[in-house]
């Protein structure tokens, strides 16, 4: 069961230059220096405290008018609402060089769009449905390539809730094979029950879960590290994030991050029930750091 990125006028100008408005995002005016790969800010959902948002702004230097942010809303149930709130949280802290886009529901993914996405200082992915986001990427695979290029150019890729789940290669969809009615947590530890799909793979060897403490998702992530024992399971609480640079992750925000490691590298199955030995749990608090792998 596991598997399976204004005029046209005005829309294009918003990506390609400043011809429509002095506040439009401009790929042409921003020529990044040669940089190392960027960072990931993986948020467990809920509200984003100012300490987190200010760290994003500082890390991406959004106070510099040559840098800009793009909000991607393909996860959202309503792209206009997701875009409004995604932008507003930054605008309230003085960031004006930010725009939201929804490929392909609302905006065509043009060559100019790809160029602007690849040169953004920040790409912020909203919550909603991780499967919906990856369906959009499946329809237009170039979106994923542009996000990866932005990351390699030094951008921060941030995502909350569904936007967090898509960061890993193995993505928890939230659905169960044996229990079709959706529940926010798992009530069983069963083999071949958890349905996964392919995420963006910006962070390898890790499986991310979100709203973790608040929705008691221990069983879900335990299932993940038993089904994929070579992966680290990272459960992120609401209003909390991990800032990942290379192999190091720092906890940012208000609450805990739980990290599960299947040190045995194996699992046991009997009558479809999963078991394992030597699964280690570490619980990290804001300001603490840990190695991802």
User: Is position 234 within any domain?
Assistant: yes
Going by pLDDT thresholds of 50, 70 and 90, the confidence category of residue 7 is very low
CA 192 to chain centroid, in Å, comes to 25
CATH number for 46: 3.40.50.880
Tens digits of residue pLDDT in 44-88: 999 999 999 999 999 999 999 899 999 999 999 999 999 999 999
Q: What is the pLDDT of residue 226?
A: 98
Domains: count for the chain: 1
| Cross-strand bridge partners of residue 170 | 198
User: Is position 21 within any domain?
Assistant: no
Structural domain boundaries enclosing 161: 10-15+39-288
Write down the pTM of the prediction.
Answer: 0.87
CA–CA dist 107, 16 (Å, integer): 14
pLDDT value at 27 more than 80 = no
146 is written with which tokens? 């542009």
User: Is position 29 within any domain?
Assistant: no
**C-beta separation of 169 from 204 below 8 A:** yes
| Cross-strand bridge partners of residue 82 | none
C-alpha closest to that of 254 among 286, 208, 212, 293:
286
User: Is position 206 within any domain?
Assistant: yes
User: Is position 156 within any domain?
Assistant: yes
Give the burial class of 225: count Cβ atoms within 10 A of its Cβ; 0-12 exposed, 13-18 middle, 19 or more buried: buried
- DSSP H or E segment with residue 160: strand 156-160
Tens digits of residue pLDDT in 234-258: 999 999 999 999 999 999 999 999 9
User: Is position 26 within any domain?
Assistant: no
Helix axes 142-152, 130-139, angle to 10 degrees: 100
SS3 54: helix
User: Is position 30 within any domain?
Assistant: no
User: Is position 33 within any domain?
Assistant: no
Tens digits of residue pLDDT in 180-228: 999 999 999 999 999 999 999 999 999 999 999 999 999 999 999 999 9
pLDDT value at 36 more than 80 = no
């Amino acid at each position: 069961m596991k598997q399976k990125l204004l005029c046209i006028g005005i829309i294009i100008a918003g990506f390609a230059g400043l011809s429509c408005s002095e506040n439009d995002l401009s790929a042409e005016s921003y020529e990044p220096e040669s940089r190392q790969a960027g960072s990931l800010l993986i948020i467990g959902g809920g509200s984003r405290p100012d300490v987190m948002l200010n760290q994003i702004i500082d890390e991406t230097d959004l106070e510099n008018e040559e840098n800009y942010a793009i909000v991607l809303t393909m996860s959202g149930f309503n792209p206009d609402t997701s875009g409004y709130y995604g932008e507003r949280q930054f605008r309230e802290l003085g960031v004006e060089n930010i725009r939201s886009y929804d490929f392909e529901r609302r905006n065509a993914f043009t060559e100019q769009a790809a160029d602007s996405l690849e040169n953004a200082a920040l790409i912020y992915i909203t919550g909603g449905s991780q499967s919906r986001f990856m369906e959009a990427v499946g329809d237009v695979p170039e979106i994923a390539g542009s996000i990866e290029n932005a990351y390699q150019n030094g951008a921060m890729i941030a995502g909350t809730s569904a936007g967090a789940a898509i960061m890993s290669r193995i993505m928890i969809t939230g659905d169960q094979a044996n229990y079709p009615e959706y529940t926010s947590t798992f009530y069983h530890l069963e083999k071949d029950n958890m349905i996964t799909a392919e995420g963006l793979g910006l962070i390898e060897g890790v499986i991310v879960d979100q709203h973790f403490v608040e929705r008691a998702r221990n069983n879900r992530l335990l299932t993940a590290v038993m089904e994929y024992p070579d992966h680290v399971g990272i459960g992120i609480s609401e209003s909390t994030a991990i800032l990942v640079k290379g192999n190091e992750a720092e906890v940012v925000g208000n609450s805990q991050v739980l990290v599960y490691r299947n040190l045995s590298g194996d699992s046991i199955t009997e009558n479809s029930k999963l078991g394992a030995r030597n699964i280690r749990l570490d619980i990290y608090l804001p300001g603490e750091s840990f190695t991802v792998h």
